[in-house]
Amino acid sequence: MKETTLPVSEFKAKCLRLLDEVAHHGHTLIITKRGRPVARVSPVRASAATVRGSWKGLVEVRGDIVHFDASEDWESAG
């Protein structure tokens, strides 16, 4: 990831264009005031998709998935 350092006066003059570049290219800006770094501007990462609901429309539930009788499916140890 590219990191660019620039003074606050330049950031102020070109703020909107610089923010568009950060979002589009993924670069990071270090803003300085009197030569000292005071802020970092970096792109926001998209949050990961949640798992909840991701199977909706793909899986069909048949019967009661909480209370079921599996006695015929298992061998007894006795």
pLDDT the model gives residue 73: 67
Count of C-beta atoms within a 10 Å radius of residue 54 = 10
Q: Which CATH architecture has domain 3-41?
A: 3-Layer(aba) Sandwich (3.40)
Spell out the domain ranges in the chain: 3-41
**pLDDT tens digit at each of 78 positions of the chain:** 689 999 999 999 999 999 999 999 999 999 999 999 999 999 988 777 777 877 788 888 777 878 877 777 666 665
Sheet strand arrangement including 28-33: 3-7, 28-33, 36-41
Going by C-alpha positions, the residue among 33, 42, 34, 36 that lies closest to residue 4 is: 42
